[in-house]
Structure 1
């Protein structure tokens, strides 16, 4: 008899950890297959360092085949999961249809950017969810400042030097903090912009920045950003978007050529037909990350509505910290379901969060200890370095070089190249 097959859909934070843990736990006792559109996984916590020029983009991409040698990697995009026949249907790198059978399935498809409905469509809107968007936003900021410096129209120049970030969660706050430093440094190179205000607006519908975090972190971030000149507006959102700018819900019309949407993320639409969902569109699982009625299917990361045993009646939020831990636990519980080890419920204990505010500034509370400034920056970088499974020496090298030498103005762009797919012919089992 052939060994059981454990199929993992998605190589994000949760999927990569699940594959790595399973390959160690099961070794030759099961076949571990990972389906992902690319042959690498992107380490999102360090994405802002790429946009800021602190890291080369190759540092935040972790190759799958070399770091997961005991895992079979299949390049493809899953478009349907047939729970009745226990098969996953996907489109491979050659746009051909394929399918894979499974004995155990771990779904870690993650999330996609969430944009709130507003009237109007703007060609100047950007997301910040993957490497391409980060590089595109960085180049767009450079382009807007160049065009502002060469324009004789004062109104146009002001609009090109105005940047709006909609949503002050973790990503939005970090983007506004880093963007303000980047744009100010670039503007200094243009004599015509030395007297031109570089305006950043951070709009958040909630009563404070970082609404899902402790108030102390929110106060630290607000203080740092306002000290730099960032226009922080709480209880304010975007009401209307036009080609010339946007109107905020406080009534002000802001002429701008840059709108960064950072209203969080929503689960990948693939999970819609997988099972019962909660109001946020996430698959409801039990405390062992298994889907009720389908004990062979496990869901973790942003796609899963995992009960929070530390807060009865609540579910764990969508965050990278939960994704990493749930991925490891899913591997443990899948191995237990095959007879190797004992399963364990997911119980999260808050070990603190970190927010990078650019330069030497950050806000953090590791193990509940509030930090700011250089101490918080060190904690932030240490945590993000610890969580990436590869490229650590190269990352430290780039950080040290960036601290000792002038910032690289334009990191070269390396388009990700997918490797030749392994056996991607249609498979029947």
Structure 2
């Protein structure tokens, strides 16, 4: 059939790892990775970017620099014609292009999950990409500085109050890092001496980290409460305005900061493909193949992958599953082109790590519960191992932050209007220039 073209849409955990495997497995094919940015974003360390611990470059891994045998096609895919084996994309300057393929892997990731709550789309701040993390870092710093400016005690209290919605993996880490960040910032302002920022973590679930094990949940809950975080479980947001949040129990919380970590939903491109979906995720079989389309594969957050370890369920939207599904999808694509044999995707979780800032983490490697410094060592070791690049620079940044502390300054690189919560832009994407 000549030199086949394999298109991979999205360079998240699934797409990046699939491209890396295919470049090695299929040297005689053209592997094209279509992505709106030229980097792979290591999402688990994004809270440390927002907290001023890591430079954004430490969590962004260059695609051209690490996948030298892969062609990077810079752009956002806006349509895929499965039968015609073609996709269309828009590059960062707004120009449209087309790409024909012999095989396609859909790994477009996810976007912020919105709920029909008045004011949330306008006043909440999301947390899914570099721009949102940088904006949040500036926003938190700005609120501390404006709290120092004012002589109005009510305004000061509101600016020193931060509400995080969603006590899952991201919300818990953002809260844990944020508390330490605001504590350090307040010390730099004599007028705020003796005052501490108030952090409120809200979730409809009965406990923190509801999707993870009990040991991780207990450790995170204990650490957050010790730092003064108010945890409101089985509670949601009923309304958001520019100066307060009203909770589902009618409690009114004066604040200028609503941080939205409720969860994610599949990237909207999937809904236009015309293929069956489950909870918005495109249906695939155990081989990560879209039924009825032998040349179409999907994995990661956009795919409803059957969980063979839990019959009748689909795999959760985690980086651990996405990374391993990307590898398996690549091998099965190679098998469909005559290299190797296809195999079903099956993976048992090996445990999770949750960085709680400072010298504290929660981890259960191989389901062995750890907390405190041992968990911190495991957590940072895991992240360094999982990073496909920048390991030395990231380790050096951690050492520098430990020795000299974080820098609390506003960079002013991202404005609020540039990071709207109500957007269908996939994580890491950039809006085309006019």
TM-score higher than 0.5 = yes
Structure 2 Cα separation of the partners of residues 276 and 346 of structure 1: 21
- Quote the residue 2:45 is aligned against: 46
Secondary structure of residue in 2 paired with 1:291: coil
- Quote the residue 2:244 is aligned against: 245
- Is this contact kept in 2: 1:7–1:105, CA < 8 A? yes
- Quote the residue 1:84 is aligned against: 83
Secondary structure of residue in 2 paired with 1:94: coil
- Quote the residue 2:13 is aligned against: 13
Over 3 Å counting, the alpha-carbon distance change for 1:197 and 1:122 in structure 2 is: farther
- Is this contact kept in 2: 1:57–1:414, CA < 8 A? no
Secondary structure of residue in 2 paired with 1:62: strand
- Quote the residue 1:420 is aligned against: none
Secondary structure of residue in 2 paired with 1:294: coil
Over 3 Å counting, the alpha-carbon distance change for 1:144 and 1:373 in structure 2 is: same
1:135 Cα deviation (Å)? 0.8
Secondary structure of residue in 2 paired with 1:290: coil
1:105 Cα deviation (Å)? 0.4
- Is this contact kept in 1: 2:141–2:408, CA < 8 A? no
Q: Could you give the per-residue CA deviations for residues 229-252 of structure 1, whole angstroms, max 9, x where no partner exists?
A: 000111011011122211111221
- Is this contact kept in 1: 2:309–2:346, CA < 8 A? yes
Structure 1 Cα separation of the partners of residues 66 and 91 of structure 2: 22
- TM-score when normalising by structure 1: 0.94
- Is this contact kept in 1: 2:137–2:410, CA < 8 A? no
Aligned length: 414
- Is this contact kept in 2: 1:241–1:247, CA < 8 A? yes
Q: Structure 1, unaligned stretches of length 5 or more?
A: 416-429
Structure 1 Cα separation of the partners of residues 65 and 191 of structure 2: 49
Structure 2 Cα separation of the partners of residues 354 and 222 of structure 1: 15
Structure 1 Cα separation of the partners of residues 392 and 410 of structure 2: 19
Structure 2 Cα separation of the partners of residues 151 and 81 of structure 1: 53
Matches for 1:356-367 after TM superposition, within 5 Å: 356-367=355-366
- Quote the residue 2:56 is aligned against: 57
- Is this contact kept in 2: 1:352–1:366, CA < 8 A? yes
Structure 1 Cα separation of the partners of residues 278 and 25 of structure 2: 35
- Quote the residue 1:177 is aligned against: 176
- Is this contact kept in 2: 1:205–1:235, CA < 8 A? yes
Structure 2 Cα separation of the partners of residues 302 and 220 of structure 1: 27
Structure 1 Cα separation of the partners of residues 33 and 159 of structure 2: 44
Structure 1 Cα separation of the partners of residues 302 and 81 of structure 2: 17
Structure 2 Cα separation of the partners of residues 101 and 112 of structure 1: 26
- Quote the residue 1:423 is aligned against: none
- Is this contact kept in 2: 1:19–1:34, CA < 8 A? yes
Structure 1 Cα separation of the partners of residues 95 and 161 of structure 2: 45
- Is this contact kept in 2: 1:204–1:233, CA < 8 A? yes
Structure 2 Cα separation of the partners of residues 73 and 5 of structure 1: 13
- Is this contact kept in 1: 2:80–2:87, CA < 8 A? yes
- Quote the residue 1:72 is aligned against: 71
Structure 2 Cα separation of the partners of residues 181 and 128 of structure 1: 18
- Quote the residue 2:256 is aligned against: 257
- TM-score when normalising by structure 2: 0.93
Q: Does 1:187 align with 2:199?
A: no
Q: Structure 2, unaligned stretches of length 5 or more?
A: 415-434
1:215 Cα deviation (Å)? 1.3
Structure 1 Cα separation of the partners of residues 394 and 59 of structure 2: 9
Secondary structure of residue in 2 paired with 1:78: strand
Structure 1 Cα separation of the partners of residues 231 and 387 of structure 2: 32
- Quote the residue 1:323 is aligned against: 322
Structure 2 Cα separation of the partners of residues 324 and 99 of structure 1: 27
1:93 Cα deviation (Å)? 3.0
Q: Does 1:126 align with 2:125?
A: yes
